[in-house]
Amino acid sequence: MKNKKEKKQEEEELTGMAAVWDYLKTFLIIFCVVFAMNKLVYINAVIPSESMQDTIMKGDRVLGNRLAYIKDNPERYDIVIFKYPDDPSKIFIKRVIGLPGETVTVKDGKIYIDGKEQTQAVSFCPEEMAGSFGPYEVPEDSYFVMGDNRNNSLDSRYWDNTYVKKEAILAKAGFRYWPLNKVGFVNKSAEK
């Protein structure tokens, strides 16, 4: 027969195990919620290059909204996070310039959509764009994208697979959370 001391020690061990199990369950629930949100609601992107300067800098960390294009389509000047058309294992971030069915042409650094000059298209750029490209006829369900740092951006102008298909768009870039001195929304500069 167990004495009172042994019974008390056994009860304490069971209580300790129950507490550990409670912590484990809480941790698992939090992990599953965060994992599900990362796969279904938001995407965390670390900016790997200078192609979106000065809007988003190399090393910035941005959250993108995966639900943004469930009902709506990307709009001109949205900043989108997508699978790189030439290597879908890589994630890129660029600004939408050409929409499905449009013709995009760059002449002497100026962007034309269906023959009309797009002055706002260069308002995001840190310097005047050089060169002439196109014309590019954007297929249905696809987008023509460019980095804001137009003279130093690997974008639709240079890819083998020129256009980003809608299904390859993972999210609309939303909130920069790093560095702390630049916390804020990144797509606000694209609002009309």
**Distance of alpha carbon 173 from alpha carbon 62, whole angstroms:** 7
Measured in degrees and rounded to the nearest 5, phi and psi for residue 68 equal -60, -35
The terminus-to-terminus CA distance of the chain in angstroms comes to 81
Residue 165 and residue 144: Cα distance in Å, rounded?
Answer: 9
Query: Length of the chain, please?
Result: 192
Cis before 74? omega within 30: no
d(CA 110, CA 133): 10
Task: Provide the annotated active-site residues.
Answer: 51, 94
